[in-house]
Structure 1
Amino acid sequence: MADTRKASRFIVPVAVAGVAAATIGLVPALAASGDPDLPEITAQQLIEKIAASDTQTLSGTFRISTDLGLPLGGLADLGGLGGDGGSSSADPTEKLTELVSGTHTLRVAADGPDRQKLTLLDGSDEYSLIHNGDDVWAYDSKSNEVFHEKAPEGEGVKGEGAKGEKPSAELPGTPKQLADEVLKAAGDTTSITVDGTAKVAGRDAYQLVIKPKQSGSTVESVKIAVDAATGTPLKFTLASVQGGKPVVDAGFTKVDFGKPAASDFTFKVPEGAKVTEGAAEKEAGKPFGDELPEGFEKGFGGDLGGFAGLGEGDLNVIGEGWTTIAKLDTGAPAPKTDEAPKEIQGLLDSFGDKVTGKFGSGTVFKTKLVNALLTDDGTVYVGAVTQDALVNAANTGK
């Protein structure tokens, strides 16, 4: 089951960061009827505005919806996402994986790199993650469990700073964090334009639209609503070529750039709560697992965060930009699904298609964003590309 968890963690980092390479269009923003009438701005100017944004304080509410097109209502139904048997239900490493499925409402507050708070609302239950100075606290009201650990020196909730970078006040899954992951890698495989204006959380915003120039990608577009006054991304939408609901739709419904009260970041252990102390060396704020192998990371042009843990073997990178495919030779034939329990066979058949080609035969496991081809001889091809692109890569034998 641990392997299943690792595989699920691969999807979201690729969703928000695996769309590497971009060229900046110079299309000015023109207000549509009913939208804010703002001064014209080019994509180059808007990206510079995002980069220059120095928002250190904010509070508000945002909603994040994720629809990867998986059967059974999402990744959580694959099992094992709720944590290992003996781990704390408040451990953010496990809890924040819930964001990869369904719709969630979160309250956030930030006061510089040393104080942030995120509260995940789930009906009458709440889950809070608080970073205050040297301490990181997490509390799950449903189980009345607390997770505590010391924040690594010089790091914010995102875990930056270990490489000498400026600590970040970002919180997991915020529109700015998602936008930064897409924009930080630039090249010639993407078109970036400004497409009108919008009102987001009562704020005037420009609409930045990012689209692949390459065919074969599963990504239709990435749209980022940027606050006209502060340059802070307010909404992030990732759409699939399959259409329907966005793969990721994260945006503020209410936002205030004033300084939150100091009491917002104070945590007192509730009476009777079970407290689990995290290991000092544990990475803070990285819910998606281990780092990518160097070759795959370079192939996408940036740091993609978590890797699926596809197993031992030689990893090769095919293509570039939006159509990058990782090829992994596992060195062992694929397991025969007809020998698996009926329940497992049904699950695999529900989102796997049998395919054949010059390479032989195999199964394509699909989501709306990331697809993977597992050949019968044990070779894996995976990327944010269409089924045809995976089969073509396998046929070339690269």
Structure 2
Amino acid sequence: MAPYEPEQDTTEADELSAGRRKAVRYVVPLAVAGVAAATIGLVPALATSGDPDLPDITAQELIEKIAASDTEQLSGTVKISTDLGLPSFGSGMTGGFAPGGGDGEGGKDGKSAADPSAKLMELASGTHTLRIAVDGPDKQKLSVLDDAAEYSLIHNGDDVWAYDSASNEAYHSKDGGAHADKNGKGDRKDLPKELPATPKEFAEQALKAAEKSSTSVKVDGSAQVAGRDAYRLVLKPKDSGSTVGQITIAVDEKTGTPLKFTLSPAGGGSAVVDAGFTKVDFGKPSAATFDFEPPKGTKVTEKGDAADKPGHRGEDFKGEGPEGLNVIGEGWTSIAELRIPGGQGLPTSGAGSDEVPQEAAKFLDSLGDKVSGDFGSGTVFKTRLVNALVTDDGTVYAGAVTKDALVKAANAAQ
């Protein structure tokens, strides 16, 4: 087993930074292109056969090993568990996010039930099993499996297909990879952005954060994931105020491919995100894996149809983000600041309206903590990882930081 390595302090940050930047640039795609880092893998405890005895390696060498990975072909099964500590509202409010959920016939408001921009958001909560196949930057397939249904997203050359077996609906667009680079990244306007789905994509985001802030980085022994020997790379924020306790990345000893990602919260308890392979094969997938023809009777929505017009779900992930978005700080303790249109905060229990009934306003009150400061007053809404302060004058401060850090940022912005 690789020995426990003393934490590397800030004097080594420059040496690690170059390796991190290379890792972020060159780690190979493991899932459908464009399904990359939003918010939120594998069941918390994957079966192992004991920690393997591997040659010694430093954190810098392991990061460089990730950067040098040339894996372009693989297939396998990934399990994702995400526990943000959010309350369950029942199928009446969340049915549209699960495979086979939604309205039975199509999505809500005439939107396609197969639209990937909303469908893949289900990965942000609960436990899911994914099947993944990759053959270079132009061929990827990701399938979200349910007990009686399957949702698949297929990128094959210029075509992007999404198919929901429960509703028998499909979503199709052309030029899905026309602007992709050699790593399968690029201007894929038809695929959700910033939504991690594989250990590699989670790891990429973690390395970005580690590059920009004070971070403890070390190799903490070894593990076996999906029958393969792996090193454990551990990242810990040194700055106070972050809700992230530590991130553990299991890196394949032979290929340098991230096999498992675990994010533990600073508050303790079970992992917020646990994502990893249960089965993996680094051989070339069959070409037929990426072929798709809509089954007979399938309702097909083409890009540009009504459900894909501005204001509909197909537009939700386009653009660079909300107008007026400002990022305060960097790395683990960065906070996003933006204004709510209209310059008003959330309704309170005493401010019900036709749009927001008093009962709903009371419910919002019950979910948050009232705070005040130089900025005025507002409400902090908390999960086990991401917290958000909504001020009464309509400004939002959000990040993987503590309530006190949000209040401090709001005060400093005055």
- Measured against the shorter chain, the TM-score band is 0.7 to 0.9
- Letter matched to residue 57 of structure 2: I
Q: Distance in 1 between matches of 2:381 and 2:146?
A: 30
Q: How far 1:321 moved relative to its partner? A: 2.3
C-alpha spacing 1:80/1:378, structure 2 compared with 1 (3 Å): farther
SS at 2:88's partner residue?
Answer: helix
377, 380, 394: which one aligns with 2:410:
394
SS at 1:146's partner residue?
Answer: strand
Q: Distance in 2 between matches of 1:171 and 1:54?
A: 23
Q: How far 1:329 moved relative to its partner? A: 4.8
Q: How far 1:345 moved relative to its partner? A: 2.5
Q: How far 1:316 moved relative to its partner? A: 4.2
SS at 1:270's partner residue?
Answer: coil
40, 63, 68: which one aligns with 1:52:
68
C-alpha spacing 1:87/1:267, structure 2 compared with 1 (3 Å): same
Q: Distance in 1 between matches of 2:183 and 2:161?
A: 14
Give the conservation status (yes or no) of the 8 Å contact 2:137–2:184: no
C-alpha spacing 1:328/1:124, structure 2 compared with 1 (3 Å): closer
Given the alignment of the two structures, is residue 133 of structure 1 paired with residue 157 of structure 2, yes or no?
yes
C-alpha spacing 1:77/1:236, structure 2 compared with 1 (3 Å): farther
- Letter matched to residue 289 of structure 1: F
SS at 2:404's partner residue?
Answer: helix
Matches within 5 A, 1:317-332: 317-330=327-340, 332=343
Q: How far 1:349 moved relative to its partner? A: 2.9
Q: Distance in 2 between matches of 1:73 and 1:158?
A: 39
Give the corresponding residue for 1:217. 242
173, 193, 205: which one aligns with 2:218:
193
Q: Distance in 2 between matches of 1:52 and 1:239?
A: 27
Give the corresponding residue for 1:119. 143
Give the root-mean-square deviation of aligned CA atoms: 3.1
* Superposed CA offset, 1:206-236 (max 9, x none): 0011110100111111111000010000011
Q: How far 1:253 moved relative to its partner? A: 0.4
Matches within 5 A, 1:51-130: 51-72=67-88, 77=93, 84-130=108-154
Give the conservation status (yes or no) of the 8 Å contact 1:74–1:101: no
TM-score between the two structures when normalised by the length of structure 1: 0.78
Which structure 2 residue ranges, 5 or more long, are not aligned? 1-36, 42-48, 189-193
Q: Distance in 1 between matches of 2:86 and 2:195?
A: 26
Give the conservation status (yes or no) of the 8 Å contact 1:158–1:172: no
Which structure 1 residue ranges, 5 or more long, are not aligned? 1-11, 17-32, 164-169, 293-306
- Letter matched to residue 214 of structure 1: D
Aligned residues: 344
Q: Distance in 2 between matches of 1:70 and 1:238?
A: 17
SS at 2:54's partner residue?
Answer: coil
Given the alignment of the two structures, is residue 289 of structure 1 paired with residue 317 of structure 2, yes or no?
yes
Give the conservation status (yes or no) of the 8 Å contact 1:226–1:235: yes
C-alpha spacing 1:394/1:154, structure 2 compared with 1 (3 Å): closer
C-alpha spacing 1:247/1:336, structure 2 compared with 1 (3 Å): same
Q: How far 1:77 moved relative to its partner? A: 4.0
Give the conservation status (yes or no) of the 8 Å contact 1:66–1:103: yes
Give the corresponding residue for 2:286. 261
Given the alignment of the two structures, is residue 226 of structure 1 paired with residue 251 of structure 2, yes or no?
yes
Given the alignment of the two structures, is residue 337 of structure 1 paired with residue 348 of structure 2, yes or no?
yes
Given the alignment of the two structures, is residue 274 of structure 1 paired with residue 299 of structure 2, yes or no?
yes
- Letter matched to residue 347 of structure 2: K
C-alpha spacing 1:397/1:221, structure 2 compared with 1 (3 Å): same
Q: Distance in 2 between matches of 1:322 and 1:171?
A: 18
Q: Distance in 1 between matches of 2:270 and 2:315?
A: 24
SS at 2:38's partner residue?
Answer: helix
- Letter matched to residue 146 of structure 1: A
Give the corresponding residue for 1:37. 53
Give the corresponding residue for 1:374. 390
Q: How far 1:130 moved relative to its partner? A: 1.2
SS at 1:45's partner residue?
Answer: helix
- Identical pairs, percent: 63
